[in-house]
Structure 1
Amino acid sequence: MPSPEVDRMVDATAGRVAGPAFGLGSFLRRARVFHPRGRSFTARVRCAGDPRLVGTVLGRAGVHEGTVRLSRGAGLPEPLPDLLGLALRLDLAEGPQDLLLISSAPAPVARHALLPARDYGGTHYSSITTFGVGTTTVVLGAVPVHSGPRLERLQEVSEAVDAGRLGLTLLVAEPFGGWAPVADVELTGPVPDGPGERVRYTPFHHAGGIEPTGAVNALRRRAYADSQRGRPS
C-alpha cells in the first residue's frame, strides 16, 4: 500500500505549486482546464457487490441514482482523437462518490496510460491511478455497452442515450490482474447543459469508501480544488 507520509509530503510540496497553476488555467479559460466540453446524463447504477471492495459502495449489492458526464479532455475539434473522459457520480445518503476515468487500454501496463481515442462507445476507460480498498490496491475501469455506429461526436452520444443504445459496465482489477465487472450503469436521460456543467467532479468525493491513494493522487488534490475555485460559478 502507498505510504501516507509520502502522500502528505507530495501534497505539501509539488501540490502547492500545481494547485495555483490549475486555478489560473481555469480562470483564464473560464471553464475546466481539462475536459471543457462534455454532455451529462442521469444514470442508474446496479452494483453486484464485489467482495474485494468490501466496505465500499461497490462492495455491497444495491441500486443507486447518479450522473455520468462524457467529455473531451483537451477540447479538440470533433471528431479528432482526444482523451475521452468518463465521470460518474453516485448520489449516496452519505454524500457523493465520484469515479473519474479516461480513455486507456485494458492491459496491465497500458491501463495506467492516457490514450487518445475517437469513439466514446468503443474505448476502454481506466482510472489510471490506484485506489486503496482495505488491504487491496485496485484500478477502476469501464467499458461501454453499445449497439450501433461509432460515437465520435457528443451529439451522437446524446442520440444513442435517447435511443437506449448506450450503457456502461464498471470494472475493477488489481494492478496486474484481470478485470472483473462490478456494476452496470444505465444511462437514463440527458441533463441540461447548465445544471450538467455545474457539477464539480473530483476523486476526493469518496463518501462511498472508494478513496484515491498514492503520490500522483496527492498531487491531484490541490490541483482539483484550486481548478474548481478558479472556474466561474
Structure 2
Amino acid sequence: MLAGLADVTGAALRGFFSLLRRVRHPRPIHPHGLVLTGRATWIRGAAPSGIDWIDDEREEPVEVTARLSRGIGLPAGLADVLGLAVRFHTVEGGHADVLLATTGIGFPSRFLLAPRRTPTRAIFGSLLPYRSPQGPVMICARGVPSRTLPADLRSLRRSLEQQPWRVRIYHAAPTGKWHPFAELVLRPAAEQDSAALRFDPVGHPLPGSTTYPWVRRVRDPSYRAAQGGTSR
C-alpha cells in the first residue's frame, strides 16, 4: 500500500515539474539563488544518529559549497519556500549533497513546507528521512544565533560579506528531539549562481546512509523531471 501511494505521489509530482519546466527553463523551481562557501565543523560528543558520516567526529573542518534560494522565485516582499542546498567536500575528492527546504520543527510540522520571507529564524528540513541501521533519520538546519537577514538576495550577499552566516545542522528521529552535530560558517562565494551548479542528493548521498524505497518512489521522478535528468 505504501509503495502504491508513493508511486502515485511520485507520478503526480513528476507531471507537475515536467509541465513547469516547459515554461521555466532550466530551473522550474529555485530559479535564483545565492552561492555560498565555507566550512563545516563537527560538534564533539554529539548524540549518535546511526549514520557513519554524521557520527564520525572529524578533527579538521570540511569544505562546503551551498546555495540559498527562493522556491518559486516570488518577489522578496512575499513569503516563499526557501531552499538550502549544501555540498560537503570530502578529502577523497568526492562529495555528499543535502537538500533542505523551509519547514516546521516539531511533529508533524517537520514534514510540511513552510513559506518564509527571509532566512531569519527559518528552519530548513529534509522533509523525507534518510535510512540508517538504527532507523529513519531526519536532518534540519537553522541559523545561530538568531540574526535578522534580508530577504532580497543582493542585500543578503552584502550582509553576509560583512558578517558570515552561522548555521547549525541537526539530526533527529521522525518524531524525536533534534540533536546538533555540525556547524557551518558560510560567506558569499566568488562564483555567481548558474544552471551549471547542481546538487544531487540521490547520486551523492550521505556516506553510511541509504534511501527507503518509498522515498525514492516519491522523490526521484520529480527531481529528474525538474532538472531534465540532472539535479538542483
> Tell me, which stretches of 5 or more residues in structure 1 are unaligned?
none
In 2, the alpha carbon distance for the partners of 1:103 and 1:153 equals: 16
The farther-off stretch of 56-65 and 176-185 is 56-65
The Cα shift of 1:15 comes to: 4.2
In 2, the alpha carbon distance for the partners of 1:114 and 1:217 equals: 19
TM-score (norm 1): 0.83
Higher strand share: 1
The Cα shift of 1:115 comes to: 0.7
In 1, the alpha carbon distance for the partners of 2:220 and 2:229 equals: 15
The amino acid across from 2:128 in the alignment is T
The amino acid across from 2:114 in the alignment is L
In 2, the alpha carbon distance for the partners of 1:40 and 1:34 equals: 16
Output one character per residue of 1:139-164: Cα deviation in whole Å (capped at 9) or x when no partner.
11011125654421112321222112
Output one character per residue of 1:76-100: Cα deviation in whole Å (capped at 9) or x when no partner.
1112100011111112226321111
Residue 26 of structure 2 is matched in structure 1 by: 31
Indicate conservation of the 8 Å contact 1:148/1:165, yes or no: no
Residue 201 of structure 2 is matched in structure 1 by: 203
Residue 64 of structure 2 is matched in structure 1 by: 66
- 2:168 is paired with a residue whose SS is strand
In 2, the alpha carbon distance for the partners of 1:78 and 1:37 equals: 11
The amino acid across from 2:72 in the alignment is A
Indicate conservation of the 8 Å contact 1:129/1:217, yes or no: no
The Cα shift of 1:44 comes to: 0.6
The amino acid across from 1:47 in the alignment is W
The farther-off stretch of 49-58 and 76-85 is 49-58
In 1, the alpha carbon distance for the partners of 2:128 and 2:84 equals: 14
Residue 142 of structure 1 is matched in structure 2 by: 141
Indicate conservation of the 8 Å contact 2:49/2:172, yes or no: no
- 2:144 is paired with a residue whose SS is strand
- Gap change, CA 1:18 and 1:115, over 3 Å in 2: closer
In 2, the alpha carbon distance for the partners of 1:147 and 1:136 equals: 31
> Tell me, which stretches of 5 or more residues in structure 2 are unaligned?
none
The farther-off stretch of 44-53 and 93-102 is 44-53
Residue 41 of structure 1 is matched in structure 2 by: 36
The amino acid across from 2:160 in the alignment is V
- Gap change, CA 1:142 and 1:167, over 3 Å in 2: same
| Number of residue pairs matched by the alignment | 224
Q: Residues 86-97 of structure 1 correspond to what in structure 2 (within 5 A)?
A: 86-92=84-90, 93=92, 95-97=94-96
- Gap change, CA 1:106 and 1:55, over 3 Å in 2: closer
Ranges of 4+ aligned residues in structure 1 off by more than 6 Å: none
Q: Residues 1-233 of structure 1 correspond to what in structure 2 (within 5 A)?
A: 6=3, 10=6, 15=10, 18-19=13-14, 22-48=17-43, 50=46, 52-62=48-58, 63-92=61-90, 93=92, 95-145=94-144, 149-194=148-193, 196-204=194-202, 205-213=204-212, 215-229=214-228
In 1, the alpha carbon distance for the partners of 2:145 and 2:87 equals: 21
- 1:157 is paired with a residue whose SS is helix
Higher helix share: 1
